[in-house]
Every structure is written in structure tokens, then in C-alpha cells.
């Protein structure tokens, strides 16, 4: 536990974490400005999907799909790229692998640590948003926003664990990062298909990033009953993903 | 475990594909002994050390460290061991102090004990002024000191050092050798000292094993080996061993 905490603190201080934080701050500050005068094609797309919907619903669509989902395809890969393989490539693992912790155990600790960093960044972003958006986003509802984004945070954590596992499975850092970006990009691209094509709605539930965006379906009636099942599903998927990664990590040699 | 043997290696071998990296190596090391491991680059020294720590799985033979089997009880071996690899890096975004705490946590050493040991090691290696600086800016010699400090944080009973004096200036080397002597003499730490700097081996060790092309070509007391080969220096001894092997 103490090792995980020290690792979390160390990861928080890394340059890449600060880079990710800067991206998120930029997103929070920029979105209200962009939403004032969205590009014509975005305006048309939103009108087609939402008609004259509640402006808050339009904002949530933009925030989840165009901002946080894109970030979830990117930042987790940056964070997870350091798990085991960067340590192996730089020579740090030569020292750490000789300690009384198996490679599987160490992978789990490192992955939980970067997941916690992702969760911290995600939560901090939403909290900054709750302070920044009122008055700048029409019809902004802080409680609904936080409830919807708390579900989304679980998909961000899943994406981080998934990226760590993919990179370790590929076995080489550069190609692993590219494969993780492609796979997460694919999951993000398909995440909201069920909203545009209701006939595919049930099928898209196999996509963990769809689960993270399910709050979009019923923003007016969010409750524990609607949020808890996808949260639990994402926790299970994340645990399963990390368990697979722990098995794969046995192959990594310092 | 026999009280007279800290490390016992029997016919240990490792094959990487078509390459035999270590071939049927056998030797034993007494508790508290500083045991020299010499040989040219690629002779199999590092692979042997890595096998003893369970970092590489042997393809033949067996070995025990303080009675723990290196394959079946890898984590138990590592719990009582310290290791400084020949080639390594330290996490650039951590400070020396943070890194020592991190390594201590890998041994599940309680926080207070870890803090005390880290401070003692920082002081012992003269790192006090740089202890809170990020490791990315450390010189080779400073890095080696932190590397040694991390190898000692668990107060190991066995210390595996792979080329520990490389990168150190003469003063740093002298201090390190003195420190290792103290660990062996005062704390009974068994030290496996692998190096191709033969003067260091001679300065520090009473007994040595020499590896050449993956095979053990000699093992015994340095003085006895010199007498046997009729030579006066370590360089002559090593050359004599290698030439005899070639012939």
C-alpha cells in the first residue's frame, strides 16, 4: 500500500502528468468560449442529433464526446506508457526487479498508481469545471454535471488500465503506445454510436467507453440506479484488464 | 542450510537460444566472505548473478542463497539480498531520498525504520547536500552512490555487486572498497564482488572464481592460485588461467 502511495506521488510529479494537467485546464477554459460560436458543421451535427434540445444537454454532449472522450483516448496512453516498459528500456527496472516483488505484483502496483493519477486529473478537471462553467454555459447544472462525470471517471480509469495492458502485451514501448492509441481511439469513436443509431444501442454496451457516457441518455433523471450498474461493470472490467496485464507482465525481463 | 555455506552453486547453466551463457558453474561462498568474480566482458558473470537473484531462470543446475532455492524461493532470496547491477539507471523524476524510501517500501520496511535507514545511508555516502535533488542531474559517481545505498536499504545479508567500481574516481573507489570491507567484517555480510578490474578484486577478496567463455576455469584462494600458477600479480594470474584454458 505504501509503495502504491509513493508511486502515485512520484507519478503525479512527472512532467507528463503536468502536460496532461495543462491539456485538461485548457479544455475547461476553452470549451465555453468555443460553445459560444461553434463551427457551422458542429452546429449542424448538434441540431441533427438534438434538435432544439436543452443547451445543457448539448454542452454535456460536447464535453463528454468532444472533450473528455478524446482526452481519455490520449492521456491514459501517456500515463501508462511508463509502466514497466519505460523502466525496462531506461534501465530502472534492472534495479527494481531484484526486489522481493514479482513482476506481476509490480505491474499491478504501477497500473493502480497511474489509474489513480488519471482519476485525480479527471476529478480535478470536473471540479475546476464546476467552478468555471456556471454563468458561462447556458443552463449549467453542477450536480448533474458531477454525477454524469463521476460515471465517466470510471471509463477513464478503465482506459488507463487498458492502455497499460496493451503496451505490456505488445512488449515494445513505441509500437505498444501506437496500438493502445488506435484501440482506444476506436473505442472512443464508437462510444456514442448508440445515441445516433438507437437500434445499435444495446450492442454498444459492450464498449466500456459507452458505459462511461451512459449518463447522457437521461440527464434529467440521473440517480444511483442509473449510475451504479455501469460503474460496477467498469470496475469489473478494469479489474479483469489488470489481472490479464499481471499475467502478461511475467514475460517482462529486466 | 549449512552454517558454513552462504551461497552454493551446483552445475548452474544458462542457454539463450544457441548461446551458452553459463555452462556448468559450481562454487560455494562462506558467510561473511567477500568473494571475487572475475572474467572478461561476456564471460557469464552477470548472467550468473542474475540467476542467483532469480532475474534469469537457469536452464540447468541449481543454487541456494542462505538456504533459499533460487528458482523455488526467488522472493525469499531477494528479501535477504542487495543488488547493484552493472548497467542501470535511476528514476529521473525522484530525488535520492524519495528513491530510497521507494525501494524500502518494496521490502515492506516500516516507514520510520525506512526513514532512519535512508538518512543513515545518505550520510554514509555523502549525499546529504544532494538528497532532495532530482536524480536526473546526478553524475556517474553520485548515481553509483545512490545505487549502492539502495542495495543496502534492507540491510542485506548477501550483497551482489556487478562492476560496482566502474564510474567511480580513485577516491570514491577507495571509499567503496573500505565500506564493503566494513560490511563484511562488522556485519557479517556476504559479498559477491564481480569485476574485471583485477586490482579491486585482489584488494578486497580472499577467494575468487574466474569465468571464461561461460565456464568456470578456476576457483579458490587468490594466494593459492598465484602459487599454483607461479605468478606474482592478478593480471598474470588471469592471463595464465586464460592461456591454459586456450591451450
Range in A58-67, A78-87, A166-175 the model is least confident about: A58-67
Do residues B21 and B58 share a domain? yes
Assigned domain for B127 exists: yes
* B26 membership: H or E segment, kind and range: strand B19-29
Q: What percent of chain B lies above the pLDDT cut of 70? A: 99
d(CA A214, CA A234): 12
Query: Which pLDDT score is estimated for A212?
Result: 93
As a whole number, mean pLDDT of residues A172-177 equals 95
pLDDT tens, position by position, B156-208: 999 999 999 887 888 888 888 999 999 999 999 999 999 888 999 999 999 99
At residue B49, does pLDDT exceed 70? yes
Residues 6+ apart with CB under 8 A from A208: A155, A158, A159, A162, A187, A233, A234, A237
Across the interface, do A98 and B56 touch by the CB < 8 Å criterion? no
Judge if B121 and B210 occupy the same domain. Answer: no
Residue A230 pLDDT exceeds 90: yes
Helix (H, G, I), strand (E, B) or coil at B223: helix
**Test the A interface: residue of B16, B47, B105, B194 with most A CBs within 10 Å:** B105
Choose the weakest-confidence range: A32-36, A245-249, B98-102, B120-124. A32-36
User: So what's the pLDDT on residue A50?
Assistant: 64
Average pLDDT over residues B88-111: 95
B93/A14 Cβ within 8 A: yes
List, as one string, the DSSP characters of B132-189. Answer: TSBGGG--HHHHHHHHHHHHHTT--SEEEEESTTTT--HHHHHHHHHHHHHHHHHH--
**Which of B91, B101, B160 is closest, CB to CB, to A92?**
B91
Q: Under an 8 A CB cutoff, do A100 and B89 touch?
A: no
Give the integer Cα–Cα distance in Å for A179 and B135: 31
* Closest chain A residue by Cα to residue B149: A95
Tens digit of each residue's pLDDT (9 = 90 or more) over A19-75: 999 999 999 999 888 887 777 777 677 667 766 667 888 888 889 988 899 999 999
pLDDT above 90: residue B53 = yes
Residue ranges making up the domain that contains B132: 89-155
CB B149, CB B127: distance < 8 Å: yes
ipTM, two decimals:
0.90
B124, B155, B186 - which closes a domain: B155
Give the pLDDT of residue B3: 54
Whether pLDDT at A250 is above 60: yes
Higher pLDDT residue, A41 or B155?
B155
Q: Residues B123, B187: one domain?
A: no
CATH of the domain at B167: 3.40.50.300
Average of per-residue pLDDT across A106-131: 96
Q: Are residues B163 and B237 in the same domain?
A: yes
Asked if A19 has any chain B CB less than 8 Å from its own CB, the reply is no
* A94: closest CA of chain B, how far (Å): 6
Mutation for testing the A interface, residue in B49, B91, B94 having most A CBs under 10 Å: B91
Q: Which H helix or E strand runs over B69?
A: strand B68-69
Facing B106 at nearest CB: one of A14, A87, A101: A101
Q: How far, in Å, CA of B238 to CA of B217, rounded?
A: 10
Share of chain B above pLDDT 90, in %: 83
Mean pLDDT of A152-180: 96
Residue among A3, A87, A98 minimizing CB distance to B78: A98
Asked if residue B15 and residue B72 are part of one domain, the reply reads yes
Query: Is B115 a member of any domain?
Result: yes
What percentage of chain A has pLDDT greater than the value 90? 69
Q: Do residues B61 and B160 both lie within one domain?
A: yes
Residues B185 and B222 in one domain: yes
Instruction: Indicate whether B222 belongs to any domain.
Output: yes
- Is residue B196 domain-resident? yes
- Both B162 and B145 in one domain: the answer is no
- Do residue B129 and residue B69 come from a single domain? no
Q: Is B133 on the interface with A (CB under 8 A)?
A: no
Best of B52, B97, B100, B106 to disrupt the A interface by mutation (most A CBs within 10 Å)?
Answer: B106
Cβ atoms < 10 Å from Cβ of B169 = 12
Question: Do B170 and B63 reside in the same domain of the chain?
Answer: yes
Residues 6+ apart with CB under 8 A from A38: A46, A62
pLDDT at B246: 77
Across the range A99-108, mean pLDDT stands at: 96
Q: Which of residues B100, B128, B155 is at a domain's end?
A: B155
Per-residue model confidence (pLDDT) at position A52: 60
Which chain B residues are closer than 8 Å to A88 by Cβ?
none
| Predicted local confidence at residue B152, as pLDDT | 96
- Whether chain A has a CB inside 8 Å of the CB on B155: the answer is no
Whether residues B71 and B164 fall in one domain: yes
| B69 pLDDT more than 70 | yes
- Quote the number of domains for chain B: 2
Please state, as a whole number, how many other Cβ atoms lie within 10 Å of the Cβ of residue B83. Answer: 26
Amino acid at each position: 500500500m505504501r509503495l502504491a502511495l509513493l508511486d502515485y506521488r512520484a507519478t503525479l510529479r512527472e512532467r507528463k502528468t503536468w502536460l496532461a494537467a495543462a491539456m485538461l485546464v485548457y479544455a475547461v477554459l476553452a470549451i465555453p468560449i468555443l460553445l459560444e460560436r461553434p463551427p457551422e458543421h458542429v452546429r449542424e451535427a448538434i441540431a441533427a442529433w438534438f434538435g432544439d434540445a436543452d443547451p445543457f444537454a448539448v454542452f454535456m454532449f460536447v464535453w463528454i464526446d468532444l472533450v473528455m472522450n478524446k482526452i481519455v483516448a490520449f492521456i491514459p496512453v501517456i500515463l501508462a506508457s511508463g509502466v514497466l516498459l519505460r523502466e525496462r528500456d531506461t534501465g530502472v527496472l534492472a534495479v527494481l526487479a531484484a526486489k522481493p516483488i514479482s513482476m506481476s505484483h509490480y505491474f499491478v502496483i504501477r497500473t493502480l498508481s497511474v489509474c489513480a493519477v488519471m482519476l485525480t486529473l479527471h476529478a480535478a478537471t470536473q471540479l475546476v469545471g464546476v467552478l468555471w462553467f456556471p454563468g458561462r454555459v447556458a443552463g449549467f447544472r453542477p450536480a448533474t454535471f458531477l454525477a454524469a462525470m463521476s460515471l465517466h471517471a470510471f471509463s477513464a480509469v478503465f482506459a488507463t488500465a487498458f492502455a497499460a495492458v496493451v503496451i505490456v502485451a505488445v512488449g515494445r514501448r513505441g509500437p505498444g503506445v501506437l496500438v493502445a492509441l488506435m484501440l482506444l481511439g476506436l473505442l472512443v469513436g464508437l462510444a456514442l454510436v448508440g445515441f445516433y443509431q438507437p437500434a445499435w444501442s444495446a450492442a454498444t454496451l459492450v464498449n466500456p467507453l459507452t458505459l462511461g457516457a451512459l449518463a447522457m441518455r437521461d440527464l434529467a433523471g440521473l440517480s444511483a440506479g442509473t449510475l451504479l450498474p455501469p460503474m460496477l461493470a467498469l470496475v469489473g472490467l478494469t479489474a479483469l484488464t489488470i489481472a490479464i496485464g499481471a499475467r502478461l507482465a511475467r514475460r517482462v525481463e529486466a | 542450510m549449512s552454517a558454513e555455506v552462504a551461497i552454493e552453486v551446483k552445475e548452474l547453466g544458462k542457454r539463450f537460444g544457441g548461446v551458452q551463457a553459463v555452462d556448468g558453474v559450481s562454487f560455494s561462498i562462506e558467510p561473511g566472505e567477500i568473494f571475487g568474480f572475475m572474467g572478461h566482458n561476456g564471460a557469464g558473470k552477470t548472467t550468473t548473478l542474475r540467476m542467483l537473484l532469480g532475474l534469469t531462470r537457469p536452464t540447468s543446475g541449481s543454487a541456494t542463497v542462505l538456504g533459499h532455492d533460487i528458482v523455488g524461493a526467488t522472493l525469499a532470496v531477494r528479501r535477504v539480498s542487495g543488488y547493484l547491477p552493472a548497467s542501470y539507471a535511476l528514476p529521473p523524476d525522484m530525488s535520492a531520498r524519495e528513491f530510497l524510501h521507494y525501494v524500502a517500501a518494496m521490502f515492506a520496511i516500516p516507514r520510520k525504520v525506512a526513514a532512519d535507514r535512508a538518512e543513515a545511508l545518505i550520510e554514509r555516502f555523502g549525499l546529504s547536500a544532494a538528497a532532495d535533488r532530482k536524480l536526473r542531474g546526478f553524475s556517474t559517481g553520485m548515481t553509483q552512490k545512490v545505487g549502492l545505498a539502495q542495495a543496502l536499504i534492507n540491510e542485506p545479508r548477501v550483497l551482489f555487486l556487478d562492476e560496482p567500481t566502474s564510474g567511480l574516481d580513485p577516491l570514491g573507489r577507495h571509499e567503496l572498497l573500505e565500506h564493503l570491507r566494513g560490511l563484511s567484517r562488522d556485519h557479517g555480510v556476504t559479498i559477491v564482488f564481480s569485476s574485471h578490474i583485477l586490482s579491486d578484486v585482489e584488494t578486497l577478496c580472499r577467494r575468487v572464481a574466474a569465468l571464461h567463455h561461460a565456464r568456470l576455469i578456476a576457483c579458490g584462494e587468490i594466494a593459492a592460485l598465484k602459487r599454483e600458477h607461479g605468478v606474482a600479480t592478478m593480471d598474470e594470474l588471469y592471463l595464465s588461467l586464460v592461456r591454459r584454458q586456450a591451450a
